[in-house]
Amino acid sequence: MKVLGIESSCDETGVALYDTERGLLGHAVHTQVAMHEAYGGVVPELASRDHIRRLIPLLERVLAEAECTRHDIDAIAYTAGPGLAGALLVGASFAEALAMALDVPALPVHHLEGHLLSPLLADDAPAFPFIALLVSGGHTQLMRVTRVGDYELLGESLDDAAGEAFDKTAKLLGLGYPGGPALAKLAETGTAGRYKLPRPMLNSGDLSFSFSGLKTAVLTAARAVELTAAAKADLAAEFQEAATEVLAAKSVAACRRHRLSALVVAGGVGANRRLRQRLDAAMAKIGGRVFYPALDLCTDNGAMIAFAGAQRLMQGELPAPATGAFVVRPRWPLDQVV
């Protein structure tokens, strides 16, 4: 079965073709970073219009890479939420219209479910059940994953997501857009510990997170000193140490509480090198292991959506034939996915 995946929840347009027997046949992603850079963040209307321009060329590129035609597609999975409403509507309408034209089923997929299952695309994939850390610009959550479709929320950020805090801290330090990668790069040249930043909720006893206070602490520290290049690097390093320490500690605590030795990390912040170092070391101490998606699958992409849709189809989910009627859900808690 060949499943086409369409991702358009924010500022990446992703298309991929996944074969349940042969694996990923092709995938392509267009990022809108350059377009949004002038505004310092994603402009929803511009994002939606750009998705419209990119979907057909990306589809043709993926089909050529897979050496397939549109008529080889057996089903279409698309991101139905959460995300920007307009951006979701572009991908959903494209997927549903194509499904109607090809007379194949269309399957709405939860964006975070795609991220959560993306490490399973690797040859060395984790087995169920496992703990998942979803860490991105919009979400920071710990989930217990029993099987496809069975997700229990264990804890989440009470305010800013980790990726959001990275981006906002980068902006405070005068770094470019996107801020997270720029801050991580600068942190490599700095020395953590020269400035003392809090580790929010590190010892709270639960699995919740909070990152807005950490961001504010950076602002306070930056105002108290001359913000030289060296000071910026040291603040970036200390911020990264604080954020990754909390993420690693809570993730290990979740594994301990649920007596699970496999931790899956997904989402854009999962590409952060320091976070990976901390998680690998912390899980090794308890005899566990961390599983990551390939680096090119950490950010939003169609491959994870195609894979998630394929998994649901393989476990017997039978979507109705495409009728042109569909609903997108800009807000959609992952633990409400059936």
The domain spanning residue 147 has which CATH number? 3.30.420.40
Q: Is residue 176 part of a domain?
A: yes
Q: Are residues 155 and 245 in the same domain?
A: yes
pLDDT surpassing 90 at residue 110: yes
Q: Are residues 174 and 284 in the same domain?
A: yes
**What are the pLDDT digits (tens) for 32-69?**
999 999 898 999 999 999 999 999 999 999 999 999 99
Backbone angles phi, psi at 269, to 5 degrees: -70, -20
Q: Are residues 140 and 252 in the same domain?
A: yes
Which pairs from 16-23 meet CB under 8 Å and 24+ separation?
Answer: 16/62, 16/301, 16/302, 16/303, 16/305, 16/306, 17/62, 17/63, 17/66, 17/68, 17/73, 17/306, 18/303, 18/306, 18/307, 18/309, 18/310, 20/310, 20/313, 20/314, 23/121
Q: Is residue 179 part of a domain?
A: yes
Q: Are residues 195 and 270 in the same domain?
A: yes
Q: Are residues 51 and 183 in the same domain?
A: no
Mean pLDDT on 286-292: 97
d(CA 47, CA 35): 9
How many structural domains does the chain have?
2
Provide the domain limits for residue 215. Answer: 127-292
Mean pLDDT on 282-304: 96
Lookup: tokens for 36: 């949004």
Which of 13, 23, 10, 1 minimizes the C-alpha distance to 95? 13
pLDDT at position 242, please?
Answer: 98
Q: Is residue 241 part of a domain?
A: yes
For 305, left (φ over 0), alpha (ψ -120 to 50), or beta?
A: alpha
Lookup: tokens for 159: 């305010």
Q: Are residues 143 and 233 in the same domain?
A: yes
Which residue type does 180 have?
G
List 28's β-bridge partners, or say none: 15
Q: Are residues 112 and 147 in the same domain?
A: no
For the chain, count helices (H), then strands (E): 10, 10
Q: How many CB atoms lie within 10 A of CB 68?
A: 17
Q: How much is the pTM? A: 0.94
d(CA 265, CA 120): 11
Q: Are residues 134 and 58 in the same domain?
A: no
Which residue type does 78 have?
Y
d(CA 260, CA 294): 22
Q: Is residue 172 part of a domain?
A: yes
pLDDT at position 335, please?
Answer: 78
Q: Is residue 121 part of a domain?
A: no
Lookup: tokens for 318: 């039978």
Per-residue CA distances from 88 to 12, 92, 117, 205 (Å): 11, 6, 20, 37
Q: Is residue 135 part of a domain?
A: yes
Per mean pLDDT, which range of 71-85, 157-171, 313-327 is the poorest? 313-327
Torsion of CA 140, 143, 148, 149, to 10 degrees: -80
pLDDT at position 177, please?
Answer: 84
Q: Are residues 168 and 259 in the same domain?
A: yes
Q: Are residues 164 and 245 in the same domain?
A: yes
d(CA 243, CA 202): 10
Which of 291, 295, 297, 304 minimizes the C-alpha distance to 260? 291
Query: Please, what is the average pLDDT of the chain?
Result: 95
Q: Is residue 122 part of a domain?
A: no
Q: What crossing angle do the helices spanning 229-257 and 162-172 adopt, rounded to 10°?
A: 170
Q: Are residues 32 and 172 in the same domain?
A: no
pLDDT at position 202, please?
Answer: 97
Q: pLDDT class for 299, splitting at 50, 70, 90?
A: very high
Q: Is residue 14 part of a domain?
A: yes
Backbone angles phi, psi at 147, to 5 degrees: -165, 175
Mean pLDDT on 204-212: 97
d(CA 111, CA 114): 5
Q: Are residues 218 and 205 in the same domain?
A: yes
